[in-house]
Amino acid sequence: MRVFPDRDTMALRYLDFDHSEDDAGMGTWDAMASVTPEHLPALLAELEQVLSWAHQEFAGRRRPLDEGGDWDYDLQTLHEGAAPHQLRYDEASGRVTVEPGAPAQTRHTVTLTLCGTAAFAAALRARFSLQ
């Protein structure tokens, strides 16, 4: 499991988040990245950084906000090629894995949506230098 210093910020290169917030301070961050196979490891590393941080910083508090959770996420992938693969985040190992698909895909497009309470929003902004 990776350890993240509480006060350090990390700039993201591939994940560029758009943010919206309601009157109660609940926020949603949507990011999309589209990379060629040679850039996929760097994108996966960013996904792992964000999701590992959230799972560690808000441990045990992930579930839909309308069910009392502090945060939740949705991770999707789309790619060009014949046989699709899936991305999975394993909380125990803190890793994003690629489950089998066709080799040598020409493009990998990933979307990550995070939603959270005002406390989650403040921590996420501080950790990843988000607006």
Report pLDDT digits (tens) over 92-104: 999 998 877 655 5
Token look-up 């403040």 returns: 122
Taking only the tens place, the pLDDT of each residue in 62-78 is 999 989 999 999 999 88
User: What's residue 112's pLDDT?
Assistant: 96
pLDDT bucket at 113, cuts 50 / 70 / 90: very high
Distances (CA, A) of 130 to 13, 57, 85, 127: 12, 17, 29, 8
The full set of domain ranges for the chain reads 17-128
State how far the Cα of 72 lies from the Cα of 62, in Å rounded to an integer. Answer: 5
Q: Do 98 and 91 contact (CB within 8 A), yes or no?
A: no
The residue ranking higher by pLDDT, 1 or 59, is 59
pLDDT-based confidence at residue 5 (cuts at 50, 70, 90): very low
Total-model pTM: 0.75
Q: Find tokens 């060009």 and name the residue.
A: 80
Q: What are the tens digits of pLDDT across the range 16-49?
A: 899 998 887 789 999 999 998 889 999 999 999 9
Q: What is the pLDDT of residue 103?
A: 57
The predicted structure's pLDDT at residue 115 = 96
130 Cβ contact list (under 8 Å, min separation 6):
17, 19, 29, 124
Instruction: Tokens for 43, please give them.
Output: 């994108």
Note the pLDDT of residue 82: 56
What is the rounded distance in angstroms from the CA atom of residue 111 to the CA atom of residue 117?
20
- DSSP letter at 32 equals E
